[in-house]
Amino acid sequence: MSLADDSAKQATGTLYKTIRQDIERRILTGEWPPGHRIPFEHEIMEHYGCSRMTVNKALSELAQADLIERRRRAGTFVRRPQFLSAVLKIPDIRAEIGALGRAYGYELISSTRRTANAADRERLGVKTPCKVIAIRCRHSADNLPFAIEDRLIDLDAVPDAAKANFKVDPPGSWLLHHVPWTEAEHAISAIVADEAIADGLDIAIGAPCLVIERHTWRQNQPLTAVRLVYPGEQHRLVARFRGSE
Amino acid sequence: MSLADDSAKQATGTLYKTIRQDIERRILTGEWPPGHRIPFEHEIMEHYGCSRMTVNKALSELAQADLIERRRRAGTFVRRPQFLSAVLKIPDIRAEIGALGRAYGYELISSTRRTANAADRERLGVKTPCKVIAIRCRHSADNLPFAIEDRLIDLDAVPDAAKANFKVDPPGSWLLHHVPWTEAEHAISAIVADEAIADGLDIAIGAPCLVIERHTWRQNQPLTAVRLVYPGEQHRLVARFRGSE
DNA sequence: ACGGGCGATATGTCTATACATAAACTCGCT
DNA sequence: AGCGAGTTTATGTATAGACATATCGCCCGT
C-alpha cells in the first residue's frame, strides 16, 4: 500500500482535496504542461491507496474548474492555460459604496412609464410591443456624485416593478433582491463627458468617463437594460481572481 | 417508488443532472427564494428514488457554484442572489484580434532591460531589488491601431523572458504560453488621450480611452504588470455569462 | 488502400453502506 | 435563569463493486 509519499504533504484534512491540490500544484508550476496526459484514475488510486470514486471526485472538480479536460477512453489532459478568465464582481452600487465605508446617497431624477418605442425595444432587445419603465437616477458616495444610471425595465417581464418605489430604492438594488436572473451581459467602454453628464457628475466637460452597459435576462427574456456612467479618473473597476482554489 | 413526477421533465440523460437542474430552476424562478431551506438529502433521495450519493453530487455542484449554502446539521439553504459575478474573458490580444477575423499586426516600440528602479518596484509590487524588462509596443487590427501596451516583466521571476524575442512575439502571448500564473488582478478605468497616446493610437488628443491594468502573480510572486490603452469609443469589453449551468 | 466492424479501455454514473464531524438541540445541574 | 455536557441529526468523506458509454485502434474484408 503506497501512501502519498509525495513531496508537498499539505494537511488539508481530506484525501480528495489532497489529491486535487497535488495535481493542481503540478499544473500551476508547469511540471505538467498543457497537453500533458495526467495519470489514469486507476494509477492515481493505487498511488494514494484509495478508491476510484475518491480520485474521481478530485478530478471532477478540476474539470469543472476548467483546469483539465477529460476524454473517455483517451484519458485526462492538462488544458491550455486559460486566457485570463476573470471573475469581475460588480456589486449593486449601494452595496459597493457601503463596502467602501462611505455614505450612500440616492436621488431619483426621473421615472416615466410608457409603451416601449422603437428605441426602447431596440435597447432591450424585444421585438413585440411592451410596457416599460424608464428611470434616470444618481448615486453618490459621501455626497459626491458617484454614477449616473439610466435604466429601462420591461414591465411585462417584471410586473412587480410597477409596485416598487424607486424614489426610495435604487432600481438596481430592488431588482437584485426581487428578480432572479439567469443571464447577463456587460459592455465596458469609455466616453468623454458631454454637458449633461458633466453636470450630473460634477466634472468638467471633456473629462473621461467609464461606461458600463448591462443587459439582464431570465430564460432568454429581457428583464432590464442599464447604462452606468462613472467619472473615469476617480473610479476603477477592480477584479482579483485566482486560477482556481 | 416515487419517480420524479415533477414538472419539467428535461431529458438530460443523467439523474444527478436532472436533480441539479430541477433545484436550479426552482431557485432561479424564485419558487425557492433566498434563505429557503431546501429538502434534506434523504427527502430528495426518496423523491427521486435514488441513493444519497447521487443527491449529494447534485447538491455539491450547486454549492460549488455558490447557488446554495450547506450547513451541517442545519440543512441546505438558497443563497442570496449573487452580486453580478461576471466571467470576463480578456484573451491574449493576438488571439482576440484573430477571433474577430481581422489581420493582427504587432510592432515593438522599445524594449529595455534594467535593474528595477523605485517606480518599477512600486508598480510590480516587489520590495527587493531585481532586474526587469520594460516593453512598449503596439497592437493593430487590419493595420489600424488597436492598443498600446506598456509592460514590465520581473526577470528574477521569469528568467526565460531574457531569451524571448519580443520583436516577433507579443509579450502577452509569449507569457501566456510559457508562464503559468495563479493570481491576477485587473483594474479598468478611463482616461483621455494625451499627445503620446493620441499619436500611438491615431486618435485626437482628448479622445476617451479605456485603460486596463493587469498584474499577474505566481504563488504570490509578481510576474508582470501591464497597462493596455484602447481607443475608448471603438473598443468595448464585453462579458456574457450565466448564473450557472 | 480504404472503410466498416469490433473489442479494449478510460471515464461517467450509480448504489448501498459506513463512519466522521459540526452544529443545533435537550436536559439537568447549579 | 444560566451554563455545560451529552445527544441527535444533516452533511462530509470514503469504499467496493457494477454497469453505461464514448472512442481509439486494430483487424479484416473488399
Query: Please, is B9 exposed, middle or buried when counting C-beta atoms within 10 Å of its C-beta (0-12, 13-18, 19+)?
Result: exposed
pLDDT tens for residues B173-207? 999 888 877 788 888 899 999 999 999 999 999 99
Instruction: State the pLDDT at residue A8.
Output: 44
Measure CA of the first residue to CA of the last residue in chain B; give whole Å. 29
Higher pLDDT, A160 or A180: A160
Write down the pLDDT at residue B196: 95
Structure letter (DSSP) for residue B101? T
- When pLDDT is cut at 50, 70 and 90, the band that residue B222 belongs to is very high
Does residue B158 carry a pLDDT above 60?
yes
User: In the predicted model, what is the mean pLDDT of chain B?
Assistant: 89
Give the DSSP H or E segment for A203: none
Find the closest chain B residue to A91 by CA distance: B83
Average of pLDDT values for B153-173? 95
Separation CA A228–CA A148 (nearest Å): 6
Tell me the average pLDDT across B37-58.
98
Report pLDDT for B119: 96
Instruction: List, for residues B68-88, the tens digit of each pLDDT value.
Output: 999 999 999 999 876 666 667
Going by pLDDT thresholds of 50, 70 and 90, the confidence category of residue A199 is very high
C-alpha grid cell, residue B78: 438558497
Q: What is the pLDDT of residue B242?
A: 58
Residues from chain A contacting residue B180 (CB–CB below 8 Å): 27-30, 81, 243
Helix and strand element counts for chain B (H, E): 7, 11
Q: Rounded distance, CA A124 to CA A239, Å?
A: 27
Cell numbers that stand for A197 in this block? 453628464
For A96, the enclosing helix (H) or strand (E) is: helix A93-99
Residue A9 above 50 pLDDT? no
The residue with greater pLDDT, B238 or A194, is A194
Q: What is the mean pLDDT of residues A72-85?
A: 84
* DSSP classification of residue B161: G
Tell me the nt nearest to A70, Cα to C1': C11
| Per-window interface: B 83-102 vs A, CB < 8 A | 83-92, 95
* A237–B95 CB contact, under 8 Å: no
Residue A162: Cβ within 10 Å count: 11
Q: Could you tell me which chain B residue has the CA closest to the CA of A93?
A: B83
Q: Does A205 touch chain B (CB under 8 A)?
A: no
* Confidence band for A7, pLDDT divided at 50, 70 and 90: very low
Q: Are A85 and B239 in contact (CB under 8 A)?
A: no
**Per-residue confidence (pLDDT) for residue B42, from 0 to 100:** 97
pLDDT band, residue A76 (cuts 50/70/90): very high
A140: pLDDT strictly greater than 50: yes
In this predicted structure, which of A150-164, B31-45, B89-103 has the lowest mean pLDDT?
B89-103
Sign of the alpha-carbon torsion through A93, A98, A102, A103: positive
Which positions in strand C are less than 7 Å from the protein's CB atoms?
8-18, 21-24
Q: Residue A182: what pLDDT?
A: 77
Nucleotides of D under 7 A from a protein CB: 8-18, 21-24
Mind listing the pLDDT tens digit for each residue in A185-194?
888 899 999 9
Contacts of B24 by beta carbon, 8 Å cutoff, 6+ apart: B62, B67, B244
Which one of A92, A235, A242 has the shortest CB-CB distance to B182?
A: A242
Residues near A142 by Cβ (< 8 Å), separated by ≥ 6?
A102, A103
CA dihedral A46, A50, A55, A56 (to 10 degrees): 110
Q: Above pLDDT 90, what percent of chain B?
A: 69
**pLDDT digit string (tens) for A26-48?**
988 889 988 999 999 999 999 99
| pLDDT at residue number B177 | 81
The 3-state DSSP class for residue A44 equals helix
C-alpha cell at A134: 424608464
Structure confidence at residue A180 as a pLDDT band (50, 70, 90): confident
A181 chain-B contacts, CB cut-off 8 A: 28, 81, 243
Q: What are phi and psi of B122, to 5 degrees?
A: -60, -45
pLDDT value for A82: 66
Instruction: Give me the mean pLDDT over the A118-136 stretch.
Output: 95
pLDDT of residue A102: 93
Residues A74-96 as b or e (16 or more Cβ within 10 Å = b): eebbbeebbebebebbbbbbbeb
Strand B131-141: give its sheet, edge to edge: A237-242, B183-192, B208-218, B221-231, B144-154, B131-141, B104-115
CB of B192 closer than 8 Å to CB of B184: no
